Amino acid sequence: MHTSVDRRGDVITVHVAGSVDGLTAEGLQQVFAGELAARHHNLVADLGAVEYTSSAGLRVLLATLKQARSGGGDLRLAAPNPDVRKVLDLSGFTNILKVFPTVDDAVASFGA
């Protein structure tokens, strides 16, 4: 798994690529924690290049979502592939957070 980060206005997008599992989830957690520590609370996780996520990856999303909301922001997801989308739907994560088809849509949603 690897990540890159970019910023548009006050929205930070974390682009995630590869597999998020028990071994790599902590690295992803640290990326989000760094942004939250810098008081960046409007976050987008670009899942377009994520092939697979285990429950360890979902746990990182849950932790980040709760911290972003407690800081007055949100975590929104963009572009999950059908397999990842299925995991998000099944576990009920799509009931508790917003998923957008593209990064542009997710970023724009913060301005709406």
**How, if at all, do strands 11-20 and 74-78 pair?**
unpaired
Query: Least distance in Å: CB of 9 to other proteins?
Result: 27
User: Shortest Cβ distance from residue 16 to other proteins (Å)?
Assistant: 18
Output the CA torsion 58→88→5→66 (10° steps). -60
- Which residue lies nearer to other proteins by CB, 49 or 63? 63
Least distance (Å) between residue 65 CB and other proteins: 9
Query: What's the DSSP call for residue 52?
Result: E
Beta carbon nearer to other proteins, 8 or 63: 63
Query: Which CB atom, from 4 or from 91, has the smaller least distance to other proteins?
Result: 91
Contact positions toward other proteins, by CB under 8 A?
A: 22, 25, 54-56, 58-59, 62-63, 66, 90-93, 95-96
